[in-house]
Amino acid sequence: MKTIDGKLLAANLRAEIAGGVSRLKAEKGVVPGLAVILVGDNPASVSYVTAKEKACREAGMLSREVRLGAETTEPELLDLVKALNEDPAIHGVLVQLPLPKHISEKAVIDAIAPEKDVDGFTPVNVGRMIIGDDCFLPCTPHGIIKLIEFAGMDIRGKHAVVIGRSNIVGKPVAALLSRRETNATVTLCHTGTRDLAHFTRDADIVVVAAGRPGTLTGDMLKPGAVVIDVGVNRIPDDSRPKGFRLVGDADFESCAAVAGAITPVPGGVGPMTITMLLWNTLQAARRAAG
């Protein structure tokens, strides 16, 4: 079994991205700018946006950090998104999800200009991805494809089982894996699936994005399968300084004993999500620079 080192792959790609940022500055005088909006203080979201902002600065990009109170209204947030859509120093606009209950995520995502939608969440970018047009690919699904390739697997013709049908991960990763370039046969499993293990035991690739620890165990895997664990779950742990530890959706020990390769949590998918965000922001800035 091989642990797939998402930090290493992310570091390699981020070095390339930083090179692209330097060239864009030198040749066109343009510094890629990313606005990261956080509403409220959900602890997981705070740590994600902090990591995104840091990575952005480390790549030589401009990071515009906007922190808003949980009481922010939907019209206030929509006005802010519209102002950033118009701001020439900003090439990417990211609104961290989830949003407080009184704000419609759909309304806010719909307000992001598709050419600044570096998360790839707007209906325009999702539609373009499905029909194979040039678009911003959603960051976590794109990072997952890179991780599977980095593990040394030729995806073409393989059976990939995706567990979870979220708009952020499950649905788009299933769409990307089944595109002609990747050419996997995809089974999308979810909470309505009757016998999950029946499907996973036949899988060459399992992407687990269910949001529940222990969703995937070693007895559910075919020997040699590649496992991509998207889960980030906080488990209380008094022996840790923060009082918790992170675990994925896969039971690492038992899966690692059967899998050919598996991503750890943390250090697998997370760093790649941020890397593909930087990649999209650089693309957005290049397009704006002409």
The correct pick among 63, 90, 96, 203 for binding ligand GUN (CB under 6 A) is 96
Whole-number minimum distance, CB 213 to ligand GUN, in Å?
Answer: 17
Q: Alpha carbon of 209 to those of 34, 92, 155, 169, 185: distances in Å?
A: 26, 25, 19, 7, 18
Active site includes 82?
no
Question: Angle 43-58/269-289 helices, nearest 10 degrees?
Answer: 50
Q: Does 56 bind ligand GUN (CB under 6 A)?
A: no
Whole-number minimum distance, CB 38 to ligand GUN, in Å?
Answer: 9
**How far is it, in rounded angstroms, from Cα 174 to Cα 176?**
6
Residues 206-235 that bind ligand GUN (CB under 6 A): none
3-class SS at 280?
helix
SS (H, E, C) 175-215: HHHCCCCCCCEEEEECCCCCCHHHHHCCCCEEEECCCCCCC
Single out the catalytic residue among 117, 119, 249, 251: 119
Whole-number minimum distance, CB 121 to ligand GUN, in Å?
Answer: 7
Whole-number minimum distance, CB 289 to ligand GUN, in Å?
Answer: 24
Q: Does 274 bind ligand GUN (CB under 6 A)?
A: no
Q: Does 122 bind ligand GUN (CB under 6 A)?
A: no
Q: Does 77 bind ligand GUN (CB under 6 A)?
A: no
**How far is it, in rounded angstroms, from Cα 275 to Cα 145?**
13
Single out the catalytic residue among 96, 158, 229, 283: 96
Segment near ligand GUN (CB under 6 A); pick from 93-101, 171-179, 203-211, 278-286: 93-101
Residues 136-155 that bind ligand GUN (CB under 6 A): 139-140
Q: Does 97 bind ligand GUN (CB under 6 A)?
A: yes
The correct pick among 63, 122, 215, 273 for binding ligand GUN (CB under 6 A) is 273
Active site includes 283?
no
> Are 271 and 7 contacting, i.e. CB atoms less than 8 angstroms apart?
yes
Q: Does 94 bind ligand GUN (CB under 6 A)?
A: yes
The distance of Cα 169 from the centroid of its chain, to the nearest Å, equals 7
Q: What residues have CB less than 8 Å from 117, skipping those under 6 apart?
A: 92, 93, 124, 125, 136
Q: Does 109 bind ligand GUN (CB under 6 A)?
A: no
**How far is it, in rounded angstroms, from Cα 14 to Cα 274?**
9
- Nearest of 265, 260, 10 to residue 154 by alpha carbon: 260
Which residues does the annotation mark as catalytic?
Answer: 52, 96, 119
Residue numbers at the binding site for ligand GUN (CB under 6 A): 94-97, 119, 139-140, 168, 273
